[in-house]
Amino acid sequence: MFLQQLINGIALGSVYSLIALGYTMVYGIITLINFAHGEIFMVGAFIGLLLISVVKVNIFFAIIGAMVFCMVLGVVVELIAYRALRKSSRLSALISAIGVSIFLSSLALMVFGADAKGFPDNAFPVTQLHIGNADVSTLQLVIIGVSALLMLALEFIVQKTKIGKAMRATSEDYNTSALMGINVNRVISFTFALGSALAAAGGVLVGVLFNAVSFNMGLMAGLKAFAAAVLGGIGSIPGAMLGGLLLGVSEVFGVAIGYSSYRDAIAFSILVLVLLLKPTGLLGQKITKKV
C-alpha cells in the first residue's frame, strides 16, 4: 500500500515539477511570475489530445508536438505580453499575465467547449504491474520516466551548453550580462520557450493519466505548480523539482488516509508551514532585482 501510494505521488509530483520549472526559470532571470503558465500547460494538453485523436500519433510524438507548439506560444506570449513591460512596475506585468491567462482559457472554452474531453482508449495501453504487494500501472512509470528525462535534459542545457551559460549569467546579473554582449532578449525568449515546453509535456501526461482535458485545468495545476516552485525556492531549478515531488507525494498520501476533500488544502498548508520556517523555500536564496 505504501509503495503504491508513493509511486502515485511521485508520478503526480513529477508533473508538478515540470510545470514549476517554468515558473522558477522565468523568475530566476527576470524576477517575474508568469501567471499565464498554467494556461500554457492547458494548451499543451489540448494539442496532445488533438494529435492523438485526430492525427493518430502515439503519446510520445504527441508530447513532442505539444512541446514544439507551446515553445512557440511561450515566445509569443513573452514578446507580446511581457517584453514591453519589463522595465515597468511588477503590477503592470501581473495584470498582463492575468490577461493572457484569461484570454487563453476563454479561447479554449470557445474552441473546445466547457465539457472535459477524454483521450481515445488506445492512447496508451495501460498494464498493471505487481511490484511486491503494490499494483503499479505502466502509465505511471512512463510519466515518471519521461519527466525524469526532461528534467535531466533541462539540467544538461542549463549547465553544459552555451545558452545555458548565458541563462545562468543573466540570472546572476541582467544588466552586466547585457554589457558583456549577451543577447538577453534571446535568453529570456529561450527561457520562456523551455518552460513552456516542459509545461506542455506535463499537460499531455496529466491529460492521459486522468483521461480528461478541460479549458480550466490550468488554474489549479498552475497554482499548485507555483506553490511547488515557492516551496522548493523560487528561482532554484533543483528546488522546483524537489517542491513538486514533495507536493505530489503529500497530496496523494493525504487522500490515501481519508482527506480527499482537502487535497488542495494539503498542498497549500505545507507551503505555508515551510515558508513560516524558511521564507526563501527549501533550496531558495534571496534574489535581488535584476531589471
- Residues 210-239 have pLDDT tens digits of 999 999 999 999 989 999 999 999 888 899
Cα–Cα distance for residue pair 25/235, rounded to 1 Å: 6
What's the mean per-residue pLDDT of the chain? 90
Q: Is position 79 within any domain?
A: yes
- Of residues 53, 58, 22, 59, the one with CA closest to residue 39: 22
Which comes out higher in pLDDT, residue 104 or 135?
104
| Contact indicator for 17, 245 with CB cutoff of 8 Å | yes
Structure-block grid coordinates of residue 102: 484569461
Does residue 253 fall inside a structural domain? yes
Is the pLDDT reported for residue 48 higher than 90?
Answer: yes
Total tally of structural domains belonging to the chain: 1
CATH number at residue 265: 1.10.3470.10
Residue 228 counted as domain residue: yes
Instruction: Indicate whether 60 belongs to any domain.
Output: yes
Asked whether the whole model's pTM tops 0.85, one would answer yes
28, 236 Cβ separation under 8 angstroms: yes
Distance CA 9, CA 13 (A): 6
Asked whether residue 283 is assigned to any structural domain, the reply reads: no
Kindly state whether residue 222 falls inside one of the protein's structural domains: yes
**Is residue 225 included in any domain, yes or no?**
yes
Per-residue confidence band for 1, with pLDDT thresholds at 50, 70 and 90: low
Backbone CA torsion sign across 279, 280, 286, 287: negative
How large is the average pLDDT for residues 21-46?
A: 92
Tell me: pLDDT of 289 over 70.
Answer: no
In whole angstroms, what separates CA 146 from the centre of its chain?
14
For residue 157, what pLDDT is reported?
A: 95
In a domain, 289, yes or no: no
Range of the domain at 249: 1-277
